[in-house]
A and B are shown apart, each in its own frame.
Chain A
Amino acid sequence: MSEFFPFGRRASMRTTFSIGVVFVIVFALVPAVSVLVLSFTDIRSIPYIPVNWIGFDNYVTFFSAAKLGYNIQALLNTLVFALAVTIFQNGIALLIAVALNSKIKGRTFYRAVVFMPTVLGVTVIGLIWSLIFNPSAGPAASIWKLFGANSAFFGDQHLALPLVIFVQIWSGLGLAVVIFLAGIQAIPEDLYEVASIDGASAWQRLRLVTIPLLAPSITANVLLCIVGSLQSYQIAYVLTGPNNPATQLLSLAIFSQTFGGGNASGSSASQGYAAAISMIQFVIVGIISLAVLVYLRKREARM
């Protein structure tokens, strides 16, 4: 087998590769290993305070009787959040992508509208939906009122998490649609024509042509969605604050512990404890992501 180098020589390839490796080491590997080590210390946010090696104390605290109930609830909220966002975001995005791939009038405009939330910042999204779901004078309250009902919306313990999930889906839908659209546009038109000749209905064309050939896009979208939603806390934070038990997520607990602003998960600004939660979250995200990846790859191969 002959060797091929993109720029003709091995040295240039090595140079560019090394630069990439250095970036990965400095900005990913070193921080990741540092977080692991810091999880065994009592480091706090203020500088110059002596840092002590405390072994597994932070992990013991996480699983202690005092903290376990809260942490399990945060984990359950995180799993519900990730599962709901992944299923609904991808399901809705797929249907929208199929619709926007058809020859409807003004589809470019519709595509822009669907993609628009993706370019909005989290704070802007928080502001928009806080205003919409303002229980005193927001449009949602007016609609509720038409039916003789009222709600505290983000202050309602039973409604807060579903609303946060809804907003997360709304904000992430655009990117998922774009990935599906790209995948759909790569499917040869002939296959649809053949399916039509064979008498396939629209549903059958979707199920037997579009979805199997979209398998790589589905894998990408589902994985992005799972990893993103398991690590997401920003929308829950801006909509319901750092201490709302109904929307307490593991990532939000890490953020609150590391950067302050919350006290529900324990002593504030203990970065060693936050690092320990990060490592536990890393293991959970890693296991779930790998399991889903293996399943989706096998599914792709079957299709």
Chain B
Amino acid sequence: MPTMTLRSRPAVRRGLALTAVIAAAGLLAGCTSSGASAPTGTGGKPTGTLNFIVSSSDASDAGFRAVNAAFEKKYPKVKVVFDAIPNANWPATSASRLTAGNVDLTLAGPKEIPKYVPASAKGDDARAADAGVYVDLSKESFMKNLTPTVLKATAYNGKQYDVPTGVSYYTGIYYNESIFKKYDLKIPTTWSDFVTLCNTLKSNGVSPIGIGGKDGWPAGLTMISAVQGLYPTTADKDALQKGLYDGSVKLTDTQPAQVLDRVKQIYGFAQQNFAGVSYQSIPSGFANGSFAMTADGTWNEPTLASAVGSKFKFGYFPIPTSDTAADNATLGGKTELSLAVPSNAKNKTAALAYLNFFTQPANYAKFVKLSGFASAEPNVPASAFLNSIAPYTKTFNPAWDYIFVSNPKAGAKAQFPFNYQSISPLGSSSVEQAATQSEKDWSAGLS
């Protein structure tokens, strides 16, 4: 049976023209979007739905949920719709929710970049703040509840666009006090002490350190810890970054290469096949005594405490990567989950009321207790664990990744820019090879 033929060429041409018009309209729409929608009014009593999104972590989710419940109790006409989004999905989900205008409270942390860093390295949150995407909270009365030094660290071009919910430290290592007691081990204060301690554990058949290497970033904590000891002050880290950007410091130089050497040695003390172990399985391994220590952030203390229960006591100390004890006396940290109000939020009144409620010391104390974060407000009682690390956190000392601005033009091996991922067994390179690779990728990105 013959098939029909399409003879109407003008119809085809019309179709093509229509296609072109639709495509052009779509493209123009994609290229002309600039400037946030006009802010909606604020003021009055909060009512309606408050759409609130955060990137998920068990402990902080529990803290937010407790505050949300208390907020709804105080403002019964407000319904908090809280979405804790898995970290991997956060960038896409938050961007789409922001685009759709159906989020009233989200996370953002615009950061200033030094003048010697190219403008192309500016982060998305900073670009968004420049474009008026977030509400300026500088003049809100509740900002006075926060610690001035924390506010200073989070200010962007002299303005406050976010409310940091706490501080975390992550250049330290958790240790099992029972195992330390059993082998008569003391908290090490220098690199050589630390190496001796790990060798003692190994010689007794105990894996010294647990690392969730499969996820990549937990191994990166060892690199950040190494920088913390070898470049202990903020001025040291700033000078390192400036030297890297102006080319006067090479990643193959002795001190930068020493960072990778420390990482390599720590990998050597990690549990067998740590490169294939997930971060989620670390708390149970630590609780079971599979390893004596685990490099992790203070954000995970509630999870570790829950896994360990009453089996043993554990503590936390800075990984002493320097041979000078004084350089190992501080923990590097960062401000955590900073809350921001989008300019196109439909319920700005409720969002600001929530921030006001959240920052009240009594409510904030509930959050801090459950989240495990160190307080971003003065006079909020800290947990016993945070009190135990107080000697290392007298002043807020930003960790390397909080200071370092990644160069988008640099190659993959120089993103941090210390190439911890290539070092065997996480990667397949020696310290020298990894340093050479990262220097090549870094210097190529400077031209």
Contact = CB atoms under 8 A, between A and B. Distances in A.
B215 interface: yes
Contacts of B91: 45, 259-261, 268-269
Interface in B1-30: 1-5, 11, 15, 18-19, 22-23, 26-27, 30
Given A67-B411, A259-B91, A47 B98 contact: yes
Interface stretch (B235-243, B257-265, B269-277, B385-393): B269-277
A259 B19 contact: no
B128 interface: yes
Contacts of A260: 90-92
B216 to A, nearest CB: 5
A70 B290 CA distance: 36
A152 B411 contact: no
A66 B216 contact: no
Interface string A132-175: 01111000000000000011111111100000000000000000
B131 A49 contact: yes
Contacts of A155: 213-214, 273-277, 425-426
Nearest to B416: A263
Contacts of B432: none
B133 A34 contact: no
Given A30-B22, A70-B412, A155-B273, A44 B124 contact: yes
Interface stretch (A2-10, A219-227, A292-300): A2-10
A302 B271 CA distance: 58
B144 to A, nearest CB: 29
A119 interface: no
A136 B213 contact: no
Contact of B406 (A241, A258, A267): A267
A150 to B, nearest CB: 6
Nearest to A36: B27
A51 interface: yes
Q: Is the interface of B mostly helix, strand, loop or mixed?
A: helix
Given A37-B30, A41-B31, A244-B216, A46 B124 contact: yes
Interface stretch (B32-40, B224-232, B370-378): B32-40
Contacts of B15: 21
Given A25-B22, A155-B213, A48 B427 contact: no
B262 to A, nearest CB: 21
A186 interface: no
Nearest to A144: B273
Contact of B3 (A4, A29, A65): A4
Nearest to B442: A66
Interface in A244-267: 244-245, 258-261, 263-267
Nearest to A61: B409
Interface string B417-447: 0000110011110000000000001001101
Given A51-B33, A261-B88, A66 B444 contact: yes
A2 B409 contact: no
Contacts of B33: 47-48, 51
Contact of A263 (B30, B92, B406): B406
B281 interface: yes
Nearest to B272: A150
A243 B88 CA distance: 12
Contacts of B381: none
A151 B92 contact: no
Interface string B109-142: 0000000000011001101100111000000000
B408 interface: yes
Contacts of B408: 266-267, 270
B255 interface: no
Interface range on chain A (Cβ under 8 Å from partner): 35 or more
Contacts of A37: 27, 30-31
Nearest to B32: A51
Contacts of B120: 267
B424 to A, nearest CB: 8
Nearest to A42: B120
Nearest to A248: B412
A97 interface: no
B213 A66 contact: no
Contacts of B384: none
Contacts of B214: 152, 154-155, 240-241
B27 A34 contact: yes
Contacts of A106: none
Contact of B34 (A34, A38, A51, A245): A51
A34 B128 CA distance: 23
A25 B12 CA distance: 13
A281 to B, nearest CB: 17
A49 B98 contact: no
B132 A152 contact: no
Nearest to A40: B31
Interface in B133-172: 133
A265 B411 CA distance: 7
Contacts of A133: 276
Contacts of A3: 2, 4-5
Contacts of A64: 409, 444
Nearest to B413: A70
A56 to B, nearest CB: 15
21 contacts: A34-B23, A34-B30, A48-B37, A48-B132, A61-B409, A64-B409, A65-B411, A66-B441, A69-B411, A70-B412, A152-B213, A152-B425, A155-B274, A155-B425, A245-B422, A259-B91, A260-B91, A260-B92, A261-B89, A264-B421, A266-B408
What 4 A-B pairs have minimum CB-CB distances, sorted nearest first? A260-B91, A155-B276, A155-B275, A267-B408
Interface of B: 1-5, 11, 15, 18-19, 22-23, 26-27, 30-37, 87-92, 95, 98-99, 120-121, 124-125, 127-128, 131-133, 213-216, 271-278, 281, 285, 290, 406, 408-415, 421-422, 425-428, 441, 444-445, 447
Given A5-B4, A157-B427, A243-B421, 10 more contacts: A3-B4, A25-B18, A70-B412, A135-B273, A151-B273, A152-B273, A260-B91, A261-B87, A266-B412, A268-B91
